[in-house]
Amino acid sequence: MAEVERPIVLDTDVVSLTMRGQLDVDAAGLYGRTWCVSFVTVGELVQGAAAADWGLRRWTRIADWLRDVVVLPYDFNVATTWGLMSGSAKRRGHPRPVNDTWTAAVCVVNDLPLATRNVKDFEPYVHHNGLVLAPV
């Protein structure tokens, strides 16, 4: 029996490219892995669709896509990790965007790597909080 690849969290940029068919998931190292997204990505997808005034067909496409992935929720551990990460970044004089910090906190708490094209945005979490990145 083949070993199942470890789950991986997809950042919103990767989700968007994947949904549009603009990312070679095999070349990106995502094929055969369990795809996860944070609760933040769900919100960002809905925000983008609402802002673009999508019709029912496109809304259904988001719902169908999300049905096939694991949505990692907010919980107490994620919230406290977010607070520690955010506070530490402010103390260092380098506050980070709120949604990036939530996504990083979800990954750190669940001990899962983050697939992103926005590597530079997440590098501080790698150096200070143990986030593992999987650049695509």
Per-residue pLDDT 10s for the chain (136 aa) are 344 578 999 999 999 999 999 999 999 999 999 999 999 999 999 999 999 998 998 899 999 999 999 999 999 999 999 999 999 999 999 999 999 999 999 999 999 999 999 999 999 999 999 999 998 9
* Residue 35 bridge partners (DSSP): 8
At 120 the pLDDT is: 94
User: Where are the alpha helices (H) located in 3-75, listed in sequence order?
Assistant: 12-19, 39-51, 56-67
| Helix (H) or strand (E) segment spanning residue 70 | strand 70-72
Q: What is the CATH number of domain 8-135?
A: 3.40.50.1010
pTM value surpassing 0.85:
yes
**Residue where the block lists tokens 């970044």:** 89
Q: Hey, where are the domains in the chain? A: 8-135
CB atoms within 10 A of CB 55: 9
- CB-based contact 99:74 (threshold 8 Å): no
At 5 the pLDDT is: 74
At 135 the pLDDT is: 86
What's 92's DSSP letter? T
At 4 the pLDDT is: 57
At 6 the pLDDT is: 87
